[in-house]
Amino acid sequence: MAGAPPALYEGATGLLADARSSATAGLAAGERIDPFWSDFWPVGSKASWVNVHQMRRQVASGFARVPYWLNGNGTAALQRLHGHRLQETLAIVGALTVWQNMSAEQLAAVTGVARVATGRSALMTDLFHLGFVEVGVHADALRRTDRSARSNLYRLTRTGAIERTLYPLTSYAERLKVTAGVEEGAIGAGMHDRHGVVATELGLRIAETGSVAVMLGEHLGRVQDLISGGWHPSFDADAVALRGDGLRVAIELTASTSNVPAKLARWARLLASKPLRDSGLIVLFVTAENPNIDSSVSRNVRKRTFDAVRLAVRNTPGFPGNRTAERIGVIDWRDWYPSPGRVSPWAAALNVWFPSGPPDVPWEMRSLADPFDVEFSPRFDATAAIDNLGRCFGNPQWLRSGHRTVDPVAAHLAGLYGYAPTDLAPRVSNNGIPAGVIPPRQRW
């Protein structure tokens, strides 16, 4: 049928464990538990979460006992919060701020703190008892193994403990590496745990290919930060990749089609109003329907998303030189990772489909990693975002080196708001948050 979605990738594949990776040894994609193909979402898409306050109440009521790896003491944990451990804590809080919820292995990969990958590290136990993080586990009737703990999930709490306890110990520059200047308050994750973990895994795998300069999560994917002002703060992407020339790829991961048409219509209107040379923005939809559900209840997310992309660019085509069909791409997880432990050649090149061809054969494949295949000639300093964000703790640790700036904002911006980048945190205000913080919004 004319215009039908292209077939899934069916060519030769390689071992994911053999694929090139910039991640720390033992933490690469081929060595982590695969959150897409591994069936560890026994009930819907949620984990079972607990924070230190819930733990204390449940233990006091006799309802639960504390597992050995969560035994700890907040007072002792606070006494250890200095020196190298403080820097590791900042890296962890920064990663969870940007990616929102992560498995133990993913958190270790982004931060470079390898022992966190066990899911039972003393460092994470300390952060749990300090009230900084919550722990999520996958629960069903099966007995857990030693490897199971590596799939434990972490997210920040929303109790204010980070602002009260951690931030007063940090410098202005350190807080900027945690927050990227977006906001100081700790942001906990939402309710869709599978979505968050699979999106984080996708971002990590893209970063491991070496095809991008910066890779960041949902917290820094808001459109008003990507292109500045005029858009609702809830309009965001699940992840954002920055190519070396400053091209921004806003990534939308979808496992259902309930709101895909509305999202696409919104993105198409945005792209039509903001030419590529002025915004540097391309959108990629990645379909990731749970492959382990019964085929009889599949919602055929891939086909419906491809069809919705075609409809969106037809309804909002843009104008000559700024065709939305050349700026909204789509790919399925299985096109890049066709089966457990396998990877296709399309993944390293970031090959995706665009509906930019003629009506009878609309789908054309282009490589997002290739600046000659997806050209970008900006009329603004597109690489400034790489300098500003490259050192953020949410950026995977192997991508943080080699940037021109020392801190995630230019020194004159820090001076403009009253602090040199090396100044200690200012006096704590009545609400427990350091006074004099940067404004809640700064364009990348």
Of 378, 399, 426, the one marking the end of a domain is 378
Beta strands in 236-373 (DSSP E): 239-242, 248-254, 281-287, 318-319, 322-323, 328-332, 342-343, 351-354, 364-367
418 pLDDT above the threshold of 70: no
Q: Over the stretch 88-144, which tens digit does the pLDDT of each residue have? A: 999 999 999 999 899 999 999 999 999 999 999 999 999 999 999 999 988 776 667
Q: Is residue 151 domain-shared with residue 171, that is, in the same domain?
A: yes
Q: Is residue 67 domain-shared with residue 120, that is, in the same domain?
A: yes
Q: Is residue 68 domain-shared with residue 210, that is, in the same domain?
A: no
Q: Find the range with the poorest average confidence among 82-96, 351-365, 414-428.
A: 414-428
- Does 255 reside within a domain? yes
Separation CA 212–CA 23 (nearest Å):
14
- Does 436 reside within a domain? yes
Q: Is residue 308 domain-shared with residue 352, that is, in the same domain?
A: yes
179 pLDDT above the threshold of 90: no
Q: Is 190 helix (H, G, I), strand (E, B) or coil?
A: coil
440 pLDDT above the threshold of 90: no
Kindly state the DSSP code that residue 210 receives in the 8-state scheme.
T
Q: Is residue 294 domain-shared with residue 371, that is, in the same domain?
A: yes
Separation CA 158–CA 278 (nearest Å):
37
- Amino acid present at 359: P
Separation CA 338–CA 16 (nearest Å):
11
More confident residue, 309 or 187: 309
Return the pLDDT at 245: 94
Confidence tier at 436 by pLDDT (50, 70, 90): very low
Q: Is residue 202 domain-shared with residue 301, that is, in the same domain?
A: yes
Q: Is residue 304 domain-shared with residue 428, that is, in the same domain?
A: no
Q: Report the DSSP pairing between strands 48-50 and 153-156.
A: unpaired
- Amino acid present at 383: T
- Does 34 reside within a domain? no
Q: Rounded mean pLDDT of 427-432?
A: 38
Query: Residue 120 belongs to what domain range?
Result: 47-190+408-444
Kindly state the DSSP code that residue 438 receives in the 8-state scheme.
P
11 pLDDT above the threshold of 60: yes
298 pLDDT above the threshold of 70: no
Separation CA 226–CA 72 (nearest Å):
41
- Does 263 reside within a domain? yes
Q: Is residue 156 domain-shared with residue 201, that is, in the same domain?
A: no
- Does 383 reside within a domain? no
Q: Is residue 174 domain-shared with residue 305, that is, in the same domain?
A: no
The answer for residues whose C-beta is within 8 angstroms of residue 412's C-beta and 6 or more apart is none
Return the pLDDT at 404: 44
Q: Find the range with the poorest average confidence among 24-33, 38-47, 126-135, 415-424.
A: 415-424
Work out the percent of the chain whose per-residue pLDDT is above 70. 84
| Closest to 126 in 3D by CA, of 50, 63, 74 | 74
The answer for residues whose C-beta is within 8 angstroms of residue 239's C-beta and 6 or more apart is 199, 200, 202, 203, 206, 215, 216, 217, 218, 221, 250, 251, 253
- Does 420 reside within a domain? yes
Kindly state the DSSP code that residue 7 receives in the 8-state scheme.
P
Separation CA 428–CA 407 (nearest Å):
23
Separation CA 9–CA 19 (nearest Å):
18
Q: Rounded mean pLDDT of 421-434?
A: 39
Q: Is residue 223 domain-shared with residue 363, that is, in the same domain?
A: yes
- Does 280 reside within a domain? yes
Sign of CA dihedral 134, 138, 142, 147: negative
Q: Is residue 102 domain-shared with residue 156, that is, in the same domain?
A: yes
Q: Find the range with the poorest average confidence among 134-138, 230-234, 253-257, 425-429.
A: 425-429
| Contacts by residues 402-408 (CB-CB < 8 Å, ≥ 24 positions apart) | 406/173, 407/173, 407/176, 407/177, 408/173, 408/176, 408/177, 408/180, 408/181
Confidence tier at 188 by pLDDT (50, 70, 90): low
Confidence tier at 30 by pLDDT (50, 70, 90): very high
Phi and psi, residue 50, nearest 5°: -150, 145
Phi and psi, residue 120, nearest 5°: -135, 25
Separation CA 329–CA 8 (nearest Å):
15
More confident residue, 279 or 227: 279
In the chain, the number of structural domains is 2
Separation CA 178–CA 189 (nearest Å):
16
Separation CA 364–CA 315 (nearest Å):
19
Per-residue tokens: 431 = 């609400």
Return the pLDDT at 198: 94
Q: Find the range with the poorest average confidence among 146-160, 292-306, 307-321.
A: 292-306
Q: Which residue's entry shows tokens 């089609």?
A: 257
Q: Is residue 166 domain-shared with residue 277, that is, in the same domain?
A: no
Kindly state the DSSP code that residue 353 receives in the 8-state scheme.
E
Q: Find the range with the poorest average confidence among 173-177, 182-186, 402-406.
A: 402-406
The answer for residues whose C-beta is within 8 angstroms of residue 401's C-beta and 6 or more apart is none
Confidence tier at 428 by pLDDT (50, 70, 90): very low
Separation CA 406–CA 124 (nearest Å):
28
Confidence tier at 423 by pLDDT (50, 70, 90): very low
Q: What are the Cα distances from residue 300, in Å, to 43, 98, 241, 254, 317?
A: 20, 30, 27, 12, 26
Per-residue tokens: 188 = 């906990």
Count CA within 13 A, CB hemisphere, residue 98: 35
214 pLDDT above the threshold of 90: yes
- Does 88 reside within a domain? yes
N-term to C-term CA, the chain: 43
| Closest to 221 in 3D by CA, of 200, 245, 192 | 200
Q: Over the stretch 358-416, which tens digit does the pLDDT of each residue have? A: 988 999 999 999 999 999 999 999 998 898 888 899 999 999 875 544 444 445 555 55
